[in-house]
Structure 1
Amino acid sequence: MATEPEFRPDDDAPIFVISVAAALAGMHAQTLRQYDRLGLVRPSRTRGGGRRYSGRDVALLREVQRLSQDEGISLAGIQRILALEDQVSALQSRVRELRAELDEARAAAGYGGPGARVFAVGPSGEVYALRAGQRVRPERSQALVVWRPDPR
């Protein structure tokens, strides 16, 4: 017997009207309107202008409420926290992109993989191609080490 696939909206699907979102967040609908005006939460809009909240919006509303009530943070402080969290997320995303680009560039240049070569210069100025982690072994060291006791 074939069953129909179960519908599961993602966290960003705008499915809750303001009264349902307010009930899920444990606050009054007027509070949601105020948070929207302040830019703390940005629900989607219908063609008629009605607000539609996603699961992610409801979670954000709960976090705003927690920061406000439990931590005693002002709404201006919460706005700043949320802006900084957005900035951190954007920067982390950019770091992931740059790491991927760097890995691609290294792979294209032949770095880091098996057979990758490292170059070193010996004591007389000769250049050696080595495997990663390998060192040049001089026949005889001509280094002079001067030791002086610590004057403390």
Structure 2
Amino acid sequence: MAPSEDMLNDDDYPAYTMGRAAEIVGASQDFLRRLDEAKLFVPFRSAGGHRRYSRYQLRLAVRAREMVDQGTALEAACRIIVLEDQLEEALQRNREHQSRQQADTT
């Protein structure tokens, strides 16, 4: 696969400018800045210092926007999202550990 194809398939590749990211998320550029301030994620920076966002970060931003739209405070929404992601990661590690244990006993 060509390097450019790898980047297109990489959820962590910072492909989106702030303006395009705001458009995709359906929020203002200020909202994206506030997510950075709330430590939901840290956008990548171009050589010129411009914020760049990955698809993964945009998914987090959409989750935050939806929660804020439903009345959740921004900081609380960001904390909930971080905790949900940590829980999902822990559950995935647990499933992998259980699979390894089952494979070792067979």
Taking structure 1 as the reference length, what is the TM-score of the superposition? Answer: 0.58
Residue aligning to 1:85? 84
Counterpart Cα distance in 1 of 2:49 and 2:21: 16
Residue aligning to 2:104? 105
1:3-152 matches, within 5 Å, as 7=5, 9-10=8-9, 11-69=11-69, 71-107=70-106
* Contact 2:22–2:28 (Cα < 8 Å) also in 1: yes
- Give the superposition deviation at 1:58: 1.8
Aligned pair count? 102
Tell me the secondary structure at the aligned position of residue 34 of structure 2.
helix
Report Cα offsets for 1:67-107 as digits up to 9, x if no partner.
001x2001122122112212211211211221122023202
* Contact 2:40–2:82 (Cα < 8 Å) also in 1: no
Counterpart Cα distance in 1 of 2:86 and 2:55: 21
Structure showing the higher helix proportion among its residues: 2
Unaligned regions of 5+ residues in structure 2, if any?
Answer: none
Unaligned regions of 5+ residues in structure 1, if any?
Answer: 1-5, 108-152
Tell me the secondary structure at the aligned position of residue 16 of structure 2.
coil
Taking structure 2 as the reference length, what is the TM-score of the superposition? Answer: 0.80
Instruction: Name the Cα RMSD after superposition.
Output: 2.2
Counterpart Cα distance in 1 of 2:99 and 2:58: 33
- Give the superposition deviation at 1:48: 3.6
